[in-house]
Structure 1
């Protein structure tokens, strides 16, 4: 490795030394930077520069950083938050502006810059340039789309006006509304020019839109944003983005009447209808009352004439149809003749039937003579006398009936529950229940034995105690037998008793 040669100054010394008579002591970088800063700020404490904005940037702190350039040079610029909030427009790249401030240095980068205190557009050309840029940007967002526009009401009950309360604009609007159609007007006073005008106009439009229907303050059916004529700088508040967005977002139809007919603002593009002047806005808002009344009267007359014409044409058609219809005599003449014919035929038919009935009655009455009836009665008596009931027939019928009755009596006797008791059997009961098996008797313990001549109590099983004896049951009636048959007394159907 070759060592670099050591350089010596002209005197041939290696170390720096103070020399006698030397009045330029060495300075630090910070010292020279501060000296330069004071020199620049003292020399250029108030300057006005014109240039084109480039590299515009708004920091989160609210400060603005940009560059101003022309054809041959560039200078950095900074604008603190307080001054940025007072700007009357929104800076953008490419705008030609005039700034006022002081020059200073930034030691950290060895650069000089201007601290901007105020910023203005450099003439109307710059304003128009800013106007066109803002118009293109808002149009790209769809704020000027015709499909967003709302229809203007034909006859608004309440009109809200956003304008200055002291200018001639509000007087012109009220005067024209009173001439055409007196309407309730709500005025929201605002500044229409200068610092804070845009914020007040936007707040007024949003305030009208925020009024609820049915509240203490009537909600407008229409809003008019109005201002008199002026230069583009005077009308600039109505080009601000806050005003344009408030008008575009308003749910109430808005008429923009800013400036004269040749003046155009971005508010005109965002509104639902543009009026060339404030007075024209009042004319567009309401119709002429006298013309409206005349139109209504004309409609009434036309309606009456139309109704009368309809009735007249109806009568004419009815009369024409009436003439075409046949006469009533022609319609019912044939039916009348038919009724008369049927009446005659009915009378003749009834007469013939009556004659036939009389003849038949005469023939029948001739057969009902007294002698004939007496003979018929005598023959019937003879036939009745010939009929006799033979005694053997009756006796045979009685014998058959007696045999059948005897058979039924025997069946009845075989089913009588008392007959087994007469033969020595006994009926076993446990309370009111009949005992049918030995197990059931053992479980019952105490039973009652019923015989033909009475009942006794008995105990079943070892150690059982018989119950107290009951009254003897009544003896069953024994059937009386006669000649081998159960005696039954019958009433003979002919009045005699016995077999």
Structure 2
């Protein structure tokens, strides 16, 4: 029994499918919120997806909304989203029918005011400082007198003119300018590429490698100078092998590149003054040093001259120097006569003592002693020679026995070598026969394959090969004209022929198959 009538289930409301209802909601929301600006805090941002799109949420203290930045818009954003950053997003609201969710598709993104920019700047400064990019130990001294100066700035602004004018006034040197954008989208990447490009120049190349770099820009607001706070610019400045001077903004303006640079200049003009000294001051200093050097040399020569005079007065005269040697010479001359006489007497006495020992009996005793020593040494030498001869005879006998036994050993070893050589010969003959057999079988198989692929087998099945006058195969009728000499090759020989005048021969109707005829077979090229 039913408690509801049919009239109760009927209604005046239109009936929609789920897809139709979702599509209608999507169109309604997109038309109502085609272009909106939403302020909120970035939440759940983990960087761009592998596809290049970025997915996150915008939230405040009471609600949240899903957000997406497509890959094309993400690459053009001036400010990239960061977790916890308060931003103002501009885009359109749409729905995702597959899960009944709505989201905002962001087209542009900007920080929510200067306070957010300062907070982002402070966070980035702490991050880079923690990596050691701002340490004083990394900073390089500037060269005293650079030969080439590289300038990274806009080529159309007043900054480059001020730098060139100041360098020309102080000390004219060669200046290489790398033109870049100093404000707007992509300016940070251009400045970083310019710094890296100057460092990549080889010494002695077509473009001279600078000795010092100046990154310069005029004053402006925090947003105008934001390109020089980009992480890519700061890392390029810290990694520069060439000493770098930062001259961004006025004296009160600070950017992150100022911390990473080797020196910070208050203005672009100040950077030019840091890069080169004043030539006139150097000339004056050189002149002053030259005058001081001349005066010092003069005073030194005078002091040395006075010292030589004082030394010359302290040197004694020649008579004073020779007085003592002359006296010693006179005393020695006076004692020379008596000394010669005494020396003669002493020599005579020594001769007499020696002559007293030279008696004939003593000489005969010494001769007898020497003869005995010679005889003893001759006996010793004879005994030594006999022992050496005995040892030599023993060695000769041993060698004789060894030589007599050698032919037998040689014969045994020769037999072993002959047996080994015979075995090797047999193995070589067997290996050669096996190799020749394998090569012969392979050659026969390849010959059979070549014969099966030969066009002459095709000619044997009723086909013919047409060649022109030069013996080249003819592949189509279009290659031959009337009156051309050709050769037709059949399986059993070749026939010469001449082409006719032109029209195709009438086609002959195929004969009807008769009873008893074998069924037609498909031909084969092989």
Determine if the TM-score, normalized by the shorter chain, exceeds 0.5: yes
Instruction: Write the distance in 2 (CA, Å) between the matches of 1:286 and 1:339.
Output: 77
Structure 1 39/12 Cα, relative in aligned 2: closer, same or farther at 3 Å? farther
Which residue does the alignment assign to 2:3? 12
Match of 1:206 among 170, 192, 196: 196
Which residue does the alignment assign to 1:90? 80
Normalising by the residue count of structure 1, what TM-score does the alignment of the two structures yield? 0.64
Which residue does the alignment assign to 2:284? 294
Aligned counterparts, 1:181-260, within 5 A = 181-260=171-250
Match of 2:61 among 53, 56, 71: 71
Structure 1 position 18, deviation (Å)? 4.7
Please give the per-residue CA displacement for 1:150-195, whole angstroms capped at 9, x wherever unaligned: 1111100000000011100000001100110001000111111111
Instruction: Write the distance in 2 (CA, Å) between the matches of 1:12 and 1:306.
Output: 130
**1:29 and 2:23 matched:** no
Please give the per-residue CA displacement for 1:56-103, whole angstroms capped at 9, x wherever unaligned: 132111111121112221111111011111111222112221111111
Report if aligned partners of 2:79, 2:109 keep a CA contact under 8 Å in 1. Answer: no
Report if aligned partners of 1:53, 1:67 keep a CA contact under 8 Å in 2. Answer: yes
Structure 1 position 197, deviation (Å)? 0.9
Instruction: Write the distance in 2 (CA, Å) between the matches of 1:83 and 1:231.
Output: 25
Which residue does the alignment assign to 1:170? 160
Which residue does the alignment assign to 1:306? 296
Report if aligned partners of 2:247, 2:267 keep a CA contact under 8 Å in 1. Answer: yes
Report if aligned partners of 1:176, 1:279 keep a CA contact under 8 Å in 2. Answer: yes
Structure 1 position 343, deviation (Å)? 5.3
For residue 45 of structure 2, give the secondary structure of its aligned residue in structure 1.
strand
Report if aligned partners of 2:155, 2:180 keep a CA contact under 8 Å in 1. Answer: yes
Which residue does the alignment assign to 2:444? none
For residue 224 of structure 1, give the secondary structure of its aligned residue in structure 2.
strand
Instruction: Write the distance in 2 (CA, Å) between the matches of 1:310 and 1:60.
Output: 80
Structure 1 280/14 Cα, relative in aligned 2: closer, same or farther at 3 Å? farther
Please give the per-residue CA displacement for 1:204-236, whole angstroms capped at 9, x wherever unaligned: 111111110111111100110000000011111
Which residue does the alignment assign to 2:361? none
Instruction: Write the distance in 2 (CA, Å) between the matches of 1:158 and 1:15.
Output: 97
Which residue does the alignment assign to 2:500? none
Greater alpha carbon shift after TM alignment, 36-45 vs 292-301: 292-301
Report if aligned partners of 1:89, 1:240 keep a CA contact under 8 Å in 2. Answer: no
Instruction: Write the distance in 1 (CA, Å) between the matches of 2:4 and 2:91.
Output: 49
Please give the per-residue CA displacement for 1:406-435, whole angstroms capped at 9, x wherever unaligned: xxxxxxxxxxxxxxxxxxxxxxxxxxxxxx
The structure richer in helix per residue is: 2
For residue 339 of structure 1, give the secondary structure of its aligned residue in structure 2.
helix
Which residue does the alignment assign to 2:30? 41
Instruction: Write the distance in 2 (CA, Å) between the matches of 1:311 and 1:90.
Output: 74
Unpaired stretches in structure 1, ≥5 consecutive residues: 1-7, 354-499
Instruction: Write the distance in 1 (CA, Å) between the matches of 2:331 and 2:133.
Output: 94
Unpaired stretches in structure 2, ≥5 consecutive residues: 342-526
Structure 1 position 341, deviation (Å)? 5.1
Instruction: Write the distance in 2 (CA, Å) between the matches of 1:16 and 1:323.
Output: 151
Q: CA RMSD in A?
A: 2.5
For residue 174 of structure 1, give the secondary structure of its aligned residue in structure 2.
helix
Match of 2:147 among 140, 150, 157: 157
Please give the per-residue CA displacement for 1:275-332, whole angstroms capped at 9, x wherever unaligned: 1100000000000001112222222233333334443333334433443443332222
Please give the per-residue CA displacement for 1:436-468, whole angstroms capped at 9, x wherever unaligned: xxxxxxxxxxxxxxxxxxxxxxxxxxxxxxxxx
Normalising by the residue count of structure 2, what TM-score does the alignment of the two structures yield? 0.61
Which residue does the alignment assign to 2:518? none
Structure 1 position 247, deviation (Å)? 1.2
Match of 2:329 among 321, 339, 349: 339
For residue 105 of structure 2, give the secondary structure of its aligned residue in structure 1.
strand
Which residue does the alignment assign to 1:51? 40
Please give the per-residue CA displacement for 1:94-127, whole angstroms capped at 9, x wherever unaligned: 2221111111112333222111011111221111
Structure 1 position 340, deviation (Å)? 4.5
Instruction: Write the distance in 1 (CA, Å) between the matches of 2:76 and 2:5.
Output: 60
Instruction: Write the distance in 2 (CA, Å) between the matches of 1:262 and 1:109.
Output: 53
**1:99 and 2:89 matched:** yes
Which residue does the alignment assign to 1:375? none
Instruction: Write the distance in 2 (CA, Å) between the matches of 1:49 and 1:234.
Output: 23
Instruction: Write the distance in 2 (CA, Å) between the matches of 1:290 and 1:15.
Output: 110
Which residue does the alignment assign to 2:455? none
Instruction: Write the distance in 1 (CA, Å) between the matches of 2:189 and 2:8.
Output: 68
Instruction: Write the distance in 2 (CA, Å) between the matches of 1:155 and 1:258.
Output: 23
Computing the radius of gyration over CA atoms, which structure comes out larger, 1 or 2?
1
Instruction: Write the distance in 2 (CA, Å) between the matches of 1:15 and 1:144.
Output: 82
Aligned counterparts, 1:326-365, within 5 A = 326-340=316-330, 342=332
Report if aligned partners of 1:160, 1:222 keep a CA contact under 8 Å in 2. Answer: yes
For residue 223 of structure 1, give the secondary structure of its aligned residue in structure 2.
strand
Instruction: Write the distance in 2 (CA, Å) between the matches of 1:344 and 1:138.
Output: 101
Report if aligned partners of 1:51, 1:70 keep a CA contact under 8 Å in 2. Answer: yes
